[in-house]
């Protein structure tokens, strides 16, 4: 699938980006968030033009999505509402 | 939080408390929403496709949707009782992210990063800052105020001037980082009043 800005998928990645993708795949993640294609999720790949940003963005995610006090369904509600208002349909 | 974080208030905080959401839960929700606003903007700027099949395709974004409104000048973003210090790990992660995106010189020069930061902050009630390249400003405005309009058309002017994808992505992420951090500050200040 062609994107508006260039991306590099896991299978085509090399060097620093490859290492970062590999580290991302080792993160503890609920199975429902793991894409069936087995590679990095699209939102991670979306950051591939700036590989060193990826650990910073998703380290933040771990602090917000891996802990309370909001419960998982409440967090998903916040995320879905935010996305709907921003008209992000990813 | 997403549309007008400065409209949050002590009354919202009280209403949340009445249904069992304490201050820590509010700080969590504010940070989470701002963070997801970043993911939304990057997903739309880059144009990633879904990772999974869906039975009912999502509706299309409507690029002509009016921009989010601007916050009143002088909107408070000072630190009050509701602060990110309640989530030290989140605060540290955001600080590392902020430093990485806002304190370097390539591909976007540091002065242009500062100009985008000031412009996005101004849209959210901050003081005016240094003016930067008008085309960078135009793209930053779309990122912050109309993420549904991100796409090839939003990049056309800069592409015509020779900007490559790395530079376009850098402009977008500087803007969305500034937007995320300012929204958190404005929202927490509003809830603390």
Domains of chain A: which residue ranges? 10-85
Among B31, B58, B93, pick the best mutation site for testing chain A contact (most A Cβ within 10 A): B93
What is the per-residue pLDDT for A29? 84
Burial of residue B74 (CB within 10 Å: 0-12, 13-18, 19+) is exposed
DSSP conformational letter for B3? S
Chain B residues with CB inside 8 Å of A86's CB? Answer: 2, 37, 40-41, 44, 147-148
pLDDT at B49: 85
How much is the pLDDT for A1? 64
Percentage of chain B lying above the pLDDT 70 cut: 100
Tell me what percent of chain B is helix, strand and coil, each rounded to the nearest 5. Answer: 60, 0, 40
A30 interfacial to chain B (CB closer than 8 Å): no
For residue B57, name the pLDDT band (cuts at 50, 70, 90). confident
Mean pLDDT of the region B40-47: 97
**What pLDDT does B68 receive?**
98
pLDDT at A84: 95
Residue B17 CB neighbours (<10 A): 13
Residue bearing tokens 């509402």: A81
The pLDDT value given to residue B92? 98
**Residue A32, pLDDT score:** 83
Please give the pLDDT value at position A5: 98
In angstroms, rounded to a whole number, what is the distance separating the alpha carbons of residues B69 and A65?
Answer: 29
Cα separation, B66 vs B3, whole angstroms: 12
């Amino acid at each position: 699938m062609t994107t508006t800005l260039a991306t590099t998928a896991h299978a085509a990645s090399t060097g620093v980006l490859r290492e970062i993708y590999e580290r991302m795949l080792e993160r503890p993640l609920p199975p429902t968030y793991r894409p069936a294609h087995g590679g990095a999720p699209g939102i991670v790949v979306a950051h591939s033009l700036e590989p060193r940003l990826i650990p910073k963005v998703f380290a933040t995610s771990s602090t917000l999505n891996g802990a309370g006090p909001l419960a998982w369904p409440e967090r998903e509600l916040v995320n879905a509402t935010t996305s709907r208002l921003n008209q992000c349909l990813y | 939080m997403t549309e007008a974080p400065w409209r949050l208030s002590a009354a919202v905080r009280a209403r949340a408390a009445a249904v069992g959401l304490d201050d820590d839960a509010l700080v969590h929700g504010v940070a989470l929403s701002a963070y997801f606003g970043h993911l939304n903007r990057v997903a739309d700027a880059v144009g990633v496709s879904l990772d999974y099949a869906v039975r009912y395709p999502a509706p299309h974004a409507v690029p002509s949707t009016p921009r989010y409104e601007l916050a009143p000048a002088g909107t408070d973003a000072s630190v009050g009782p509701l602060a990110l210090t309640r989530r030290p790990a989140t605060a540290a992660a955001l600080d590392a992210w902020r430093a990485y995106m806002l304190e370097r010189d390539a591909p976007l020069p540091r002065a242009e990063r500062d100009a985008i930061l000031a412009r996005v902050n101004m849209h959210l009630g901050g003081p005016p800052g240094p003016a930067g390249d008008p085309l960078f400003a135009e793209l930053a405005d779309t990122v912050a105020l109309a993420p549904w309009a991100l796409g090839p058309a939003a990049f056309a002017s800069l592409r015509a001037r020779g900007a490559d994808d790395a530079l376009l992505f850098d402009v977008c992420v500087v803007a969305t980082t500034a937007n995320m951090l300012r929204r958190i500050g404005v929202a927490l200040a509003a809830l603390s009043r």
